Chains A and B, each alone.
Chain A
């Protein structure tokens, strides 16, 4: 029997978190070495003996034994985690303390500590997200670089610097202080949002890579939901948003693998179980007084999910949610989306008017869907020549082959309405 897809990768993330907790954050490189050793043994043993019944437990035990060896061998030469230090010095307490870190609750806790530590204020936001993917999701430097469409050596430099920053902090983030957790949680949520976004809208052409990023973001947000300090209404809202969007992933492409517009999705391909989970999370997110952008985005995605057919969409409700979103976090992209919703409600002419009213419109000139939206409205107003110009502008900005093919399809559509002269 083959192991579950990405098992090694996910276990690597868990093991690095546990071992860093044991060895101390300054010994991050040692933790990574021990994890690689465990995988070395797994590969060599399993290729002959087959995958054990419980591969995760096998890897945990192997990592535990290697950790004990390291602690015994290097106990005098290195300083390990300060708060565990004494207990790791004595043979009497060493094994029980190590075993504690491999218990289910401690594994959860270790991963959360690592997640909060990666979102270090001294590390640039984009690198924080890459670091989470690298350390907590077990992506190698090259795989992380590929996920963000960056060059390997550049990513190696960035991750190297980030790890140094991490290793210089005295200890992993302490999850017991409610106040510290509350202060850093928004940045953690933002990083997971960016990670999901990279998968959902990202530039990487390979859909498997992108779906993988969405899955990882969902896995990490579910860790937040299992801890009372981090399962805030905003975290539930973010989880709801991920569920609704992930539910739509199968409909984003048609049978030929081409990107389709939301209104053209085959909605029967949407994942009903994920939509149900999204509704549950959205319900849980309503517990507090605070309304975050995640609440609003999740509510918008929820309204789309409610419509069995595109024409049944509650565009009025969606416009209202965008209005609120514009109040708490105005941005040209939000304004553009609002204009699209208005066009659906009131017709394409209204959409064009609203786009003309967007403040800071020039910030959208590198955004392909700015031109694509205008093209769409012009096409519906039966002005194919104007539409074609917009779609061509969008095409020059397209970020991946899927977007290119989608826009080329729209350009052909302009020809259908009125043959080119």
Chain B
């Protein structure tokens, strides 16, 4: 088994959802995580990330506020997944409820210590 990081990006901001839709989205996420866990793929559930933060680096402005809630490209959270290979990991990611709300899942293999 190999490890993968799932980065959850760009899910439609809740401002575009009704409370009812937000509740349904939340229930779907819970069910999806539960399913990954039952099937032994969930190495680490991970954490949600705040939308506001700081970006550090660059020549002129080493510290900037951001990313912003309205920015197009924002990571909403991450999890660590165990899968046979990248194909299987991508297959698992395809079930992510965030995708139905305009989001995408970036699937990145964790680089092993021994090459």
Q: Which residues of B contact A12 (CB under 8 A)?
A: 19
Pair B26/A47 contact, Cβ less than 8 Å: yes
Pair B22/A43 contact, Cβ less than 8 Å: yes
Which of A2, A40, A45, A142 is within 8 Å of B18, CB to CB? Answer: A142
* Interface residue? B95 (CB, 8 A): no
* Interface residue? B92 (CB, 8 A): no
* Interface residue? B53 (CB, 8 A): no
Which chain A residues (29-59) contact chain B, with CB distance < 8 Å?
36, 39-40, 42-51
Pair A40/B13 contact, Cβ less than 8 Å: yes
Pair B14/A40 contact, Cβ less than 8 Å: yes
A139 to B13, CA, bound (A): 18
- Tell me the smallest distance from the CB of B6 to a CB of chain A, in Å: 12
A136 to B14, CA, bound (A): 19
Which B residues lie at the A interface, using CB under 8 A?
Answer: 13-15, 17-23, 25-27, 29-30, 33, 45-48, 76-77
Pair A48/B18 contact, Cβ less than 8 Å: no
B-contacting 9-mer, from A3-11, A122-130, A353-361, A385-393: A3-11
Given contacts A6-B20, A8-B23, A42-B26, contact A48 B14 (CB under 8 A): no
Which A residues lie at the B interface, using CB under 8 A?
Answer: 2-3, 6-9, 11-12, 36, 39-40, 42-51, 138-140, 142-143
A206 to B71, CA, bound (A): 37
Q: Which residues of A contact B25 (CB under 8 A)?
A: 43, 47
Pair A40/B29 contact, Cβ less than 8 Å: no
A140 to B22, CA, bound (A): 11
Which of B19, B22, B47 is within 8 Å of A48, CB to CB? Answer: B47
A36 to B19, CA, bound (A): 8
Which of B20, B26, B47 is within 8 Å of A46, CB to CB? Answer: B26
Q: Which residues of A contact B23 (CB under 8 A)?
A: 3, 6-9
- Chain B, residue nearest A33 (CB): B15
Pair A36/B15 contact, Cβ less than 8 Å: yes
A51 to B26, CA, bound (A): 9
- Chain A, residue nearest B25 (CB): A43
A246 to B18, CA, bound (A): 26
Pair B18/A43 contact, Cβ less than 8 Å: no
Q: Which residues of B contact A47 (CB under 8 A)?
A: 25-26, 29-30, 33, 48, 77
Q: Which residues of B contact A143 (CB under 8 A)?
A: 18, 20
- Tell me the smallest distance from the CB of A50 to a CB of chain B, in Å: 7
Which of A46, A49, A138 is within 8 Å of B19, CB to CB? Answer: A138
Q: Which residues of A contact B27 (CB under 8 A)?
A: 2-3
Q: Which residues of B contact A49 (CB under 8 A)?
A: 48
A9 to B26, CA, bound (A): 13
Given contacts A2-B30, A7-B23, A8-B22, contact A40 B15 (CB under 8 A): yes
